[in-house]
A = this chain, B = another copy of it.
Amino acid sequence: MAGTDSTRRPAKATAREAVDGAPAIILVHPQLGENIGMAARSMLNCGLTDLRLVKPRHGWPNDKAIKPSSGADIVLENARVFETTSEAVADLQLAIAATARPRGMAKEMMTPRRAAVEMRVFAAKGSRCGVVFGPEAKGLNNDDVALCDATLSVPLNPAFCSLNLAQAVLLVGYEWFLAGDQAPDSALPISKHTRPANKEELLGLFEHLERELDACGFLRVREKRPIMIRNLRAIFHRARLTEQEVRTLRGVIAGLSSKPRS
């Protein structure tokens, strides 16, 4: 089709990439099957195949997705359905929330280009990444954004920046694809004996901390509790903890909260 290059290079490397660390695309409560199909097409255009659906409005599978996918069967057939966003991101070590507006959370905001570099760095070390997109009309809710390590916004004409879902997926995938040949411009050195923590481990840490903070009365002001918890979690998200660091921090919490005072 117009503006694409079918002869550019052999498919092999790309198929490998799709298996070896290409990000998952998580669509939360997608409303229209057509949009899921178009998003699947955009994904495969960019060598992405791991599609995850959180409670799609009209269930799954959905015949309306087939034609708009233009033959991206492999993506639709392997799509997995989850009940909650936290289950859908549980195995990921880096989750990025696509969001049009700032959420008043202290999370890093990235362009798709920057996110692609971050994800390539994680993928190169065998970690799993994903980008989370909200429903067509409303976008992600704050709880879903809070599950993620960072947010992603596409720089576009601020006077007219509404993209449809498949186009947002395309731009994220396109930047991922293009970033494939480039060396990353920053990296976090991680010991060989550990790996980035996954969301389950991180959530275990958060719950441990909050349990102890409840017990000691730190979170006693009921109306402030949600925002304090969100802000605390944001700190540890931003730190990109390793699995080992999560264990260390849990030791710290246990130590602090159980100590016999003199």
Chain B residue contacts of A188, Cβ below 8 A: 106-109, 238
Is A113's beta carbon under 8 Å from chain B?
yes
Copies of this chain present in the complex amount to 2
- The count of residues in chain A whose C-beta lies closer than 8 Å to any C-beta of chain B is 106
Chain B residue contacts of A153, Cβ below 8 A: 3-5, 8
Q: Is the CB of B170 within 8 A of A6?
A: no
Interface mask (A224-262 → B, CB under 8 Å = 1, otherwise 0): 000010011001101111100100110111011111111
Q: Which of A57-65, A82-90, A120-128, A210-218 forms contacts with chain B? A: A210-218
Q: Is the CB of B106 within 8 A of A189?
A: yes
Closest residue on chain B to residue A215 by CB atoms: B259
Q: List 15 A-B contacts (CB under 8 A).
A: A2-B168, A3-B98, A3-B99, A5-B154, A8-B155, A8-B161, A71-B160, A154-B174, A167-B167, A167-B170, A213-B256, A218-B255, A235-B249, A236-B239, A238-B240
